[in-house]
Every structure is written in C-alpha cells, then in structure tokens.
Amino acid sequence: MYNRKQIMLIIAALVLVCACQRAGVLDQLRDDGQIVESSQIALIDQSVKTPAINYAEYCSGCHGIKMDAFVDRKWKHGKTDQDLYKAIKYGYEDEGMPAYDVSFSDQEIEDLVDFIQEGIANVDEYYFENRQNKSNVYPSEALTVMLDTVSTGVAVPWGLTFLPKGDLLITDRSGKIYRQSAEALIELTTVPDVVAGGQGGMLDIELHPDYEVNGWIYISYAQPNPENGEESATSIVRARLRDNEFSDHEVIFTALPYSSRKLHFGCRMEFDREGYLYVSVGDRFNRDVNPQSLDNHCGKIHRIHDDGSIPDDNPFVETAGAMHSIYSYGHRNPQGVAMHPQTGAIWSHEHGPRGGDEINIIKKSKNYGWPVVSYGINYNGTTFTEKTQQEGMEDPVMYWLPSIGACGMTFVNSDLYPGWENNLLSGSLRFKYLERAVVEGDNIVHTEKLLPNIGRLRTVEVGPDGYIYVAVEDPGYVFRLVPQS
C-alpha cells in the first residue's frame, strides 16, 4: 500500500499528465459536434470549472472523451450517485482509480456525478422492458405497422431472399437452407458443408440480378478448411435450385486465411446496378494482423464479378502482394451491406468492439480505420484507442454508442410505407429492435427505434412485393410488416 505522501505524489503526476494532454483533448472535443458545450471550453473563463471541464481535464484520459468506459458498463462498485461519489472522492487506488478528495470540493464531486449520470442516461433508452408490446401492432412516428407471421421453425434465420413467384429462401445458421411457400417449410438438399458454431455456419443468400435467365443463387457460409476441419473461412458458393435440390455448385470466393476462431465472418452480399457483387468479410477476431494489411481477405469489403473473377478497375489490382478482390479495408465485422436505391452507393454497417458500431458508405480503396481509429472501447471498459479520427481514414456516417449489435441492412425502396421512403433500416441483435434512419445525401438526419422487443433482429429485406421482411432468432420468426392506413 502507498502512504499518503506517495499518493499525493501520484495524484500530482496524474494532474500534470492530464494537463499536458489537455490541449489534445480539447482539440478532439472541438471537432465533435455532440459535445457542443465542451467545445466552448477554450472560450470559457478558466476559473469557472464546470463539470464538463473537470471531466475533460481529469477523467477523459482514462475513461474516454465521451464517457466511453461508463456507457454500457458492468459497474464494479455500483452506479448510484453515492457509489460514484465515493469512487471519485476516495478512489480505488489498488485498481488504478485515483482519489480526488484533494482536487475537488464536495460540491464539485456532486456536480461531476450528475454530469456522468446524465451522460450515460442515453443508454437506458434502448431498454424497452417497460414498453412491452402485447399485440402485433407497432405504432411509429410516421405510420403504424402490423406484423404478419410468414415463417416459424427456422432457429436462427440468418439470410433471406425471394424467389420470383414469392417463395422465401431462408438460411439457418446451423447449416440448413429452407424454402417457405404459402403452404409449407421445406428443407432444401445438397447444400454446402459448413462449420457451424460461434458466429459461423450457413449465412447470407442472394439471387443473381438475372436470376430468371441464369438461375444462380449465391450462398455465403463458413467453409471448412479441406486440410483441417477445425478451421473455416468465409466463402461464397453459387448453385442452381431444381425441385428443392441444389446443383451446379461453384465456389467463387474464399476469404483467406482459414482460421480456427469462429468469429467475425462478416458475410453479407449485395449486387450493385452494374452487376458487381460486394462481399463483407470480418476480421476473424484477428484485429492486429488482418484489417490493415492488404495481403489477406479479412476485415475487408470485396468487389467481384458474378463468377468470382476480379474486375480490372479494382483499386489494388496493381498493388504487389495485395488481394485483388479488396475494394475497401480497415473493417471489423460488417453484418449489413445495402445499395442506396437512388445513388447506387454501397452502404454498410459493422460491429464496433463495445460501443462504436458504425454505418459507412463504402468507397473504392478507402481505409475505414479499424483498429487504428474507433469509437469503441475494450470489453474491460478501458478505452481502446484514443483516436476517433486520423488522416487517410474514413469517418463513419453515424455510430452507435452503446453498440446495438447491428445486423442486416436494407433501404426502403418501395412506396408501401409513406414517410419511410428511401429510409435505411438496420436490425439490432442486442436491443431487439429495428432502427429506421432518414438519409439525406450522404448524411443521416434522424433515427427512430421501431418494433421494440421484437426479438434478436438478424436480417431485414424488402421483398419483390414491396413489403419489408424481418427475421428474428431463438425462437426464429420471419415477419412481414403490413402498413395500417
């Protein structure tokens, strides 16, 4: 244990470190539209120590500029006002939390507690327990929708697509693919072998844009390494469906290297208007090796032709040692990819570490920063990187703090939902709802949480009939959203 003199010395050193860091902290605050008050710090009389200033000066270095470490936290010592007060005043020296009884008056500590409590209150809006919906009618700002159950019995419906006559194809992460007709749920045969476990298994499914002509169906999955069945890689096979049996299989893409970690497969697929296929691949939980290096496929979004060949104008075709399918890099685990119906741009969202799920517009050759810049924090509550921005790295269009576990993404490209036209929809695994985002140009100007408590929302699609379909898991349901007039 330290004696009091040593503690004072440590505090003095810390205050000095904080003061030195301060210029940098203020710069970052100034860039950040969300902390408007704090952004005025430079203009405020330095003798007026508001809680925002005290927080920025004394706490942000360890707990994050946006209280990142407190948002969505498993509190060790409780989160009541008294608990926070005690922590700040007396510290937990053994754990590395300094005591501030010499730095602050009791009033200043109380103000700081209020400031932190307000700052983390935004997390609570995600918990819908008190708003449990007993019916299947969900009002929203723009219109009310009713849920119509389309399918039950698929445990983890990961991907959805629609055959021209209206039947639904549904993947089950466990390794199966089903066809849901108006009458029955039929298991399809001769599907690819998958490594089912963790986050891997049978994943996304898409029809070729000229499906009626060529019959190709694209399936993404965790493919076993032929030399070591414990390892898997995000792969895409295309095949044709005849009488509920797949045939003509062609594996057109495999994201190397294989890994024994059953995490961060990514795996969403989307065709753009010109027929390029975009494929998201997660970092396979190897953040220090994969996402920033072009010599592997993981932590990237790829662009390939429908047969898996590489477009001549892909950004890294001339780069020695680079994987030629790479279109953008520095991604963590993108679980949503969708084309904007008006601009044709590819949008994507990805999971941040804890807090910091992002929405990005995917541009050729761009670096999206993971893990160098991030709005997230480590699972142990420490800030992961001080940096949220860096020259040469793209800023997200939007990010979620806390992390919602974004999964599945689509634009509302039909006119059945007045007020939702061209809105961007993202599922939330963690908070069990659907996020509606109003997009203007390249910006998101408004969001609303739809379908509170619907279930772990895995995927969302607009069918050829113009209706929005969502799939939730455990128990697995596919619902159609029917607008009420």
Chain contacts with ligand HEC (rule: CB under 6 A): 14, 58-59, 61-63, 75-77, 84, 87-88, 92, 95-98, 100, 112, 381
Residue 264 appears among annotated catalytic residues:
yes
245-254 and 228-242 as β-strands: parallel, antiparallel, unpaired? Answer: antiparallel
Would you say 75 or 127 has its CB closer to ligand HEC? 75
Would you say 81 or 210 has its CB closer to ligand HEC? 81
- Structure tokens given for 296: 């592997």
Rounded to whole angstroms, what are the CA distances from 119 to 75, 110, 112, 124, 290?
A: 15, 14, 10, 11, 34
Give CA–CA dist 482/463, Å, rounded. Answer: 12
Smallest gap from residue 61 Cβ to ligand HEC (A):
6
Look at residue 238 and give its three-state secondary structure.
strand
Smallest gap from residue 109 Cβ to ligand HEC (A):
8
Would you say 18 or 263 has its CB closer to ligand HEC? 18
Is the separation of the CB atoms in 361 and 347 below 8 Å? yes
Give CA–CA dist 455/112, Å, rounded. Answer: 36
Nearest C-alpha neighbor of 412 from the set 463, 448, 485, 343: 463
User: Under 8 Å CB-to-CB from 160, ≥6 apart: which residues?
Assistant: 168, 169, 170, 171, 205, 459, 461, 469, 471, 478
Is the separation of the CB atoms in 478 and 455 below 8 Å? no
Side chain identity, residue 430: R
Smallest gap from residue 112 Cβ to ligand HEC (A):
5
Would you say 83 or 306 has its CB closer to ligand HEC? 83
**Of 63, 77, 208, 264, catalytic:** 264
Smallest gap from residue 384 Cβ to ligand HEC (A):
13
Q: How far is CA 249 from the centre of its chain?
A: 31
Smallest gap from residue 78 Cβ to ligand HEC (A):
6
Smallest gap from residue 14 Cβ to ligand HEC (A):
6
Nearest C-alpha neighbor of 263 from the set 281, 243, 236: 281
Nearest C-alpha neighbor of 375 from the set 394, 348, 347: 394
Would you say 61 or 175 has its CB closer to ligand HEC? 61
Strands (E), 269-388: 269-271, 277-281, 300-304, 326-329, 334-339, 346-350, 357-362
User: Under 8 Å CB-to-CB from 76, ≥6 apart: which residues?
Assistant: 92, 95
Smallest gap from residue 70 Cβ to ligand HEC (A):
7
Side chain identity, residue 33: G
Residue closest to ligand HEC (Cβ) = 59
Would you say 114 or 465 has its CB closer to ligand HEC? 114
Would you say 87 or 169 has its CB closer to ligand HEC? 87
β-bridge mates for residue 469, sequence order: 461, 480
Q: Which residues are catalytic?
A: 264
